[in-house]
Structure 1
Amino acid sequence: MSRLSVEIDLFTATGSAAVIAGGLVAAVARPLDLAKGSWLAAYLVLVCGVALIAIGIAQQRAPQPMSARFHASQLTGWIAANALVIAGSLTDTPAVVDVGSILLLVVLAATWRAGLRLLGSKAPAAYAYLAVLTVLIVSVPIGMVLASR
């Protein structure tokens, strides 16, 4: 892999699928009068998609590869957490949103900790990556509060 190339791994493929799904939801939200269509489209694109793609790309740059077990638990947790957040939001069930959010916080914290490996490179992208993860971590409790209203 050259310095500028990116492999299509399960993270980037799953994230790309979420971006496409978000675009499709955005396309039908207005014609179908989906009450939470705009929120769902944005969540699919930004959290489920773009964030996961960034995680996948950043982890490809780690000095030592993450273990297959870590990758599997990270991706499984990401998918489960976001599925719970979406299901809870669409059904107006804050308790389900909370369970998904807590699981998402656990996955994000583990991802942030694993991302510390990138700091050895002193690359600005490593700091930006950790900053994005920090913004996501901070936004989860905000989302929990908004979902409970």
Structure 2
Amino acid sequence: MTPARTLVALGALAVVLGGLVAAVTGPMGWAKGSWAAAYLVLVVGVAQYVMGRFRAVDAGDDRAGWVQLAGWNLGGALVIGGTLVTTPLLVDGGSLLLVVALVPALRARAGGVPPAAVLAYRGMLLVLAVTIPIGMLLSHLRS
């Protein structure tokens, strides 16, 4: 299995898990359930799926892809865990791993990808890069 295929598979799985979290936590009235579901779907799921699809056209170094995969998933897990147990330092550590994972995502080559798709992809990475420190700040303010 390649890093690209694994990113795509885990991204799709995170979208499904996010839906399940929403379905279970809504009726239970779990305060952080909607946040956890949205984070799983949008950040861990959709963003990772898109990064995997983009990486699939990059015939470059698989090591960078595995770094991206590990950083994104471990980082996402730490952010979710740190938020649920109200531990901003875990959120900070996870956020740093997400930033590390954004580096190979940004450096992935776009051979044969239409310019508009590359622009949209880089725009998504920019949104992620901007929102990571905002999430860190909110974590500290809410604890």
For the criterion TM > 0.5, the same-fold answer is: yes
Give the 4+ runs in structure 1 shifted more than 2 A: 119-122
- Residue aligning to 2:90: 96
- On the 8 A contact 2:65/2:104 being kept in 1, the answer is no
Alpha-carbon distance in structure 1 between the residues aligned to 2:27 and 2:123: 37
Indicate yes or no: 2:86 matched with 1:75.
no
Percent of aligned positions that are identical? 46
Which structure dedicates a bigger proportion of its chain to helix? 2
TM-score by length of 2: 0.90
Q: Give the deviation of 1:122 after TM superposition.
A: 5.7
TM-score by length of 1: 0.86
The one of 63, 70, 80 equivalent to 1:86 is: 80
Alpha-carbon distance in structure 2 between the residues aligned to 1:119 and 1:137: 23
Which has the bigger relative contact order, CA under 8 A and spacing at least 6? 2
Q: How many residues align?
A: 138
**Structure 1: segments with no counterpart, 5+ residues:** 1-7
**Structure 2: segments with no counterpart, 5+ residues:** none
Q: Give the deviation of 1:110 after TM superposition.
A: 2.8
CA shift in 2, pair 1:146/1:119, >3 Å: farther
Alpha-carbon distance in structure 2 between the residues aligned to 1:34 and 1:84: 19
Indicate yes or no: 2:138 matched with 1:142.
no
> 1:63-120 deviations in whole A, cap 9, x for unaligned?
xx132212212111111101110110000000110111011111113311x13x3278
- On the 8 A contact 1:36/1:90 being kept in 2, the answer is yes
RMSD over aligned CA atoms reads 1.7
